[in-house]
Amino acid sequence: MIVADRPGRGAAKLLSVDATGRVRDAPRAELAFLFNAGDLVVANDAATLPGSLRGTLQRSGEPIEIRLAAWVTTGDPTRFVALALGPGDHRTRTEDRAAPSPLSPGDRLSLGPLTAVVERLLDHPRLIALRLLGSHASVLAGIAHHGRPIQYAHVPEPLALWDIWTRFAAEPVAFEPPSAGFALDWQTIGTWRRRGIAFTTLTHTAGISSTGDAALDLRLPFDEPYCIPEGTAAAVNQIKSKGGRVIAVGTTVVRALESAAGADGEVRDGAGLARGRIGSRTRLRVVDAILTGVHQPGESHFELLEAFADLTTLRELSALAERLGYRSHEFGDSMLIESQADQSRAVFVT
Amino acid sequence: METRIDLEGLRVAVTGGTSGLGLALVRRLAAGGARVAFVARSPETVARIARETGTHGIVGDVSSKGDIYPIALQITGHLGGLDVLINNASSLGPMSLAPLSDTECEDFSQALAVNVIGGFRLTKALFGALAVSARNQGSALVINISSDAAVNAYPGWGAYGVSKAALRHMTAIWAEEARADGVRFLSIDPGDMDTALHARAIPDADPQTLKRPEDAAAEIVGTMHHALSRSRKLPVAVRP
């Protein structure tokens, strides 16, 4: 699979599989002309924090990188669950990065203009509870200026914040970009509106997708807070009651909507916590299709796709994407997978 | 009796918020109950005005590309979203007014960088937050502070006038494009005000003939409230 090694919203491709198993390869620009009047597209409007903070462990002067990974209290920028990485930078794959020297509660870190204290060691050598000292305002300013987006080994040029905010990014509460949203722009949303396809958003605090540690990665995603506005829940429930489809932009939207759905499929508005994993055994109650990046078997997001299509279908899709030169990862091409009416159906290309 | 507009909970960001019209807007909005974040370049002045007004001060330069996203992050991170953006920061261009044929290219660029490009970049970075506000509350608003130099060709005001004309036209285009998303755009000319910027441009102007920034701020807040109240629920209180 070709790895997308730079941001950019230029010519991209879209591999879609509809509910009957029919597969189509098209330019992603055609996204604006998919779906039907009465359908609803839901995206994650979380902006992404520049959650990579470089600095030193004060007692030894040893270089350290902190990656903010989850909120302790959503929106409080002074306390985080964080990953600690030792010397090295993003040119080394996270999996190959050295662990930092063992940390102890009370250890102080100098992170540019910020000072941080290790509050607790969590149940893994890389995972800590971290407090950033200062007022909310000064800490937020420190993160805004000193923090850098989490970089990827497969993207050689340093990423800036404008590379990792979607067009509709709003409040900065995500730790990695809800990257399926890179496929959308305001022109596409406007075309949908003219065609009778509604667009709305929810906010999900998308967490890190990889910790660099296989054992820790198995626990991903962490429990992730989300918030569904009243209008979004009402729109979803109305669309469903009228027989329209709900298309989720990205795995975070699936997690939030399915988590907020009652047994009757009614989506509740307000704040919630997306827990656990969605996979082959999940019966989707709300979402009819997912727009996502190109994921390979074994990747963290792949398991969730099994709620939409069986493993055989997904593997065939991946193989087809590879043959057609699709680009994977955050800035790559897209897949649209409708929930399969008959999961034993074979995939064929038209 | 004074009619006071109740802006309780409205989330507003103001650029150029430590002097002249911007400072008057920050004070007026805060007095009305709005939650205000403002942007200016001097850390000391930002801290002082934030303390005085109980608002959130952000140090940044809207003409600097690298500052825009950190500014946007702090605005939405602190306010939890955004309902109104007021692009007020303004650069006159050359220190003393000059004919275009005497204007240094760098001065011309600087006027465009602050008055047009800065407003464009910040609005674009915050458009997602404004669209969320519009979806959830009915509408959101961008106010771009204009000038009569945007429409009248005053000799010597070339860099400033061109930049304000561009800003005015950008506002009009964006208003058309964003209408369906519920984000409204207004260009407001506050009139000639007794500000440091005006004094630099016309040192011998009689301050008695100029509008007080506080009066201009009151008019703009009234216009803002009127624009929002057509599509959002906003209380208006008449207080003694």
Q: Which residues of A touch B127 (CB under 8 A)?
A: 167-168, 186
Of the partner residues B73, B81, B136, the one whose CB lies closest to the CB of residue A144: B73
Q: Identity (one letter) of the amino acid at B52?
A: E
Taking only the tens place, the pLDDT of each residue in B117-172 is: 999 999 999 999 999 999 999 889 999 999 999 999 999 999 999 999 999 999 99
B35–chain A Cβ distance below 8 A for any pair? no
* pLDDT at residue A151, rounded to an integer: 78
Q: pLDDT confidence of B237, banded at 50, 70, 90?
A: very low
A77–chain B Cβ distance below 8 A for any pair? yes
Look up residue B22 and give its two tokens. 């911007």
- Number of domains comprising chain B: 1
Of the partner residues A144, A170, A193, the one whose CB lies closest to the CB of residue B74: A144
CA distance A280 to chain B (A): 33
Cα–Cα distance list, B58 to A137, B38, B70, B72, B75 (Å) = 9, 6, 9, 10, 8
Q: Domain check: are A213 and A89 in the same one? A: no
Beta partners for residue B157, in sequence order: B98
> What DSSP state is assigned to residue A267?
B
Higher pLDDT, A124 or A292: A292
Q: pLDDT confidence of A216, banded at 50, 70, 90?
A: confident
A30 in Cβ contact with A187 (< 8 Å)? no
In a domain, A296, yes or no: yes
Q: pLDDT confidence of A275, banded at 50, 70, 90?
A: confident
Q: Where are the alpha helices (DSSP H) in chain B?
A: 20-31, 43-53, 65-79, 105-112, 119-137, 158-178, 196-201, 213-229
Taking only the tens place, the pLDDT of each residue in A64-87 is: 999 999 999 998 999 999 999 987
In a domain, A250, yes or no: yes
Q: Domain check: are A41 and A67 in the same one? A: no
CA distance B82 to chain A (A): 8
Q: What is the average pLDDT across A210-236?
A: 86
Judged by CB atoms closer than 8 Å, whether chains meet at A144 and B70 is answered as yes
Q: What is the average pLDDT across A305-330?
A: 91
Q: pLDDT confidence of B240, banded at 50, 70, 90?
A: very low
Q: Domain check: are A239 and A334 in the same one? A: yes
pTM: 0.93
* pLDDT beyond 70 at A299: yes
Alpha carbons A102 and A120: distance in angstroms, whole number = 12
* pLDDT at residue B3, rounded to an integer: 54
CA A218 to chain centre: 16
Taking only the tens place, the pLDDT of each residue in A103-158 is: 999 999 999 999 999 999 998 888 999 999 999 999 999 999 999 998 777 777 78
B43–chain A Cβ distance below 8 A for any pair? no
B179–chain A Cβ distance below 8 A for any pair? no
Q: Which range among A243-257, A320-334, B209-223 shows the weakest confidence by mean pLDDT?
A: A320-334
Cα–Cα distance list, B115 to A198, B118, B123, B130, B180 (Å) = 35, 6, 12, 20, 26
* pLDDT beyond 90 at B233: no
Mean pLDDT score of chain A = 90
Judged by CB atoms closer than 8 Å, whether chains meet at B132 and A172 is answered as no
Domain residues for A65? 51-146
Q: What is the average pLDDT across B105-126?
A: 95
* pLDDT at residue B119, rounded to an integer: 97
Judged by CB atoms closer than 8 Å, whether chains meet at B70 and A141 is answered as yes
Higher pLDDT, A132 or A2: A132
Q: What is the average pLDDT across A337-343?
A: 78
Of the partner residues B69, B128, B136, the one whose CB lies closest to the CB of residue A161: B69
In a domain, A256, yes or no: yes
Judged by CB atoms closer than 8 Å, whether chains meet at B135 and A231 is answered as yes
Q: pLDDT confidence of B236, banded at 50, 70, 90?
A: very low
* pLDDT at residue A157, rounded to an integer: 78
> C-alpha dihedral over A229, A230, A234, A235, to 10 degrees?
-40
Nearest CA in chain B to A231: B136
* pLDDT beyond 80 at A99: no
Judged by CB atoms closer than 8 Å, whether chains meet at A171 and B76 is answered as yes
CATH number of the domain encompassing residue B13: 3.40.50.720
Q: Domain check: are A228 and A205 in the same one? A: yes
Q: Domain check: are A211 and A164 in the same one? A: yes
B125–chain A Cβ distance below 8 A for any pair? yes
Nearest CA in chain B to A194: B180
Cα A27–Cα A29–Cα A33 angle in degrees, nearest 5: 105
Alpha carbons B27 and B18: distance in angstroms, whole number = 10
The pairing of beta strand A114-121 with beta strand A127-132: antiparallel
Q: Domain check: are A134 and A204 in the same one? A: no
For A314, the enclosing helix (H) or strand (E) is: helix A311-323
Task: Collapse the DSSP code of B76 into the 3-class scheme (helix H, G, I; strand E, B; otherwise coil) and give the result.
Answer: helix
CA distance B150 to chain A (A): 28
Q: Domain check: are A339 and A245 in the same one? A: yes
Domain residues for B15? 2-239
* pLDDT at residue A302, rounded to an integer: 85
A51–chain B Cβ distance below 8 A for any pair? no
* pLDDT at residue A1, rounded to an integer: 65
Burial classification of residue A230, based on how many CB atoms lie within 10 Å of its CB (0-12 exposed, 13-18 middle, 19 or more buried): exposed
* pLDDT at residue B40, rounded to an integer: 98
Q: Which residues of B touch A170 (CB under 8 A)?
A: 76, 81-82, 128-129, 131-132
CB-based burial, B144-183: b 16+ in 10 Å, e otherwise: bbbbebbeeeeebbbbbbbbbbbbbebbeebbeebeebbb
* pLDDT beyond 90 at B194: no
Nearest CA in chain A to B58: A141
* pLDDT at residue A257, rounded to an integer: 97
The pairing of beta strand B140-145 with beta strand B183-188: parallel
Alpha carbons A164 and A175: distance in angstroms, whole number = 10
Of the partner residues A137, A168, A189, the one whose CB lies closest to the CB of residue B78: A137
Taking only the tens place, the pLDDT of each residue in B64-94 is: 999 999 999 999 999 999 999 999 998 887 6
Q: pLDDT confidence of A5, banded at 50, 70, 90?
A: low
Alpha carbons B17 and B38: distance in angstroms, whole number = 5
* pLDDT at residue B234, rounded to an integer: 53
Q: Which range among A164-173, A210-219, B227-236 shows the weakest confidence by mean pLDDT?
A: B227-236
- Number of domains comprising chain A: 2
CA distance B127 to chain A (A): 7
Q: Identity (one letter) of the amino acid at A247?
A: I
Q: Domain check: are A174 and A281 in the same one? A: yes
Q: What is the average pLDDT across B185-209?
A: 83
Instruction: From B164, B162, B125, B128, select the one nearest B144 (Cα to Cα).
Output: B164
From A120, A146, A172, give the residue that closes a domain: A146
Mean pLDDT score of chain B = 91
Q: pLDDT confidence of A347, banded at 50, 70, 90?
A: low
Judged by CB atoms closer than 8 Å, whether chains meet at A201 and B132 is answered as yes
In a domain, A345, yes or no: yes
A169–chain B Cβ distance below 8 A for any pair? yes
Nearest CA in chain A to B121: A162
* pLDDT at residue B238, rounded to an integer: 39
B211–chain A Cβ distance below 8 A for any pair? no
Q: pLDDT confidence of A9, banded at 50, 70, 90?
A: low
Q: Domain check: are A205 and A255 in the same one? A: yes
Q: Domain check: are A55 and A43 in the same one? A: no
Q: Which residues of B touch A190 (CB under 8 A)?
A: 180
CATH number of the domain encompassing residue A67: 2.40.10.240
Q: pLDDT confidence of A8, banded at 50, 70, 90?
A: low
* pLDDT at residue A350, rounded to an integer: 45
Judged by CB atoms closer than 8 Å, whether chains meet at B78 and A47 is answered as no
Q: pLDDT confidence of A343, banded at 50, 70, 90?
A: low
CATH number of the domain encompassing residue A195: 3.40.1780.10
Q: Domain check: are A213 and A276 in the same one? A: yes
* pLDDT at residue A90, rounded to an integer: 67
Q: Which range among A43-52, A187-196, A213-222, A296-305 shows the weakest confidence by mean pLDDT?
A: A213-222
Alpha carbons A52 and A69: distance in angstroms, whole number = 10
Judged by CB atoms closer than 8 Å, whether chains meet at A162 and B129 is answered as no
From A122, A146, A170, give the residue that closes a domain: A146
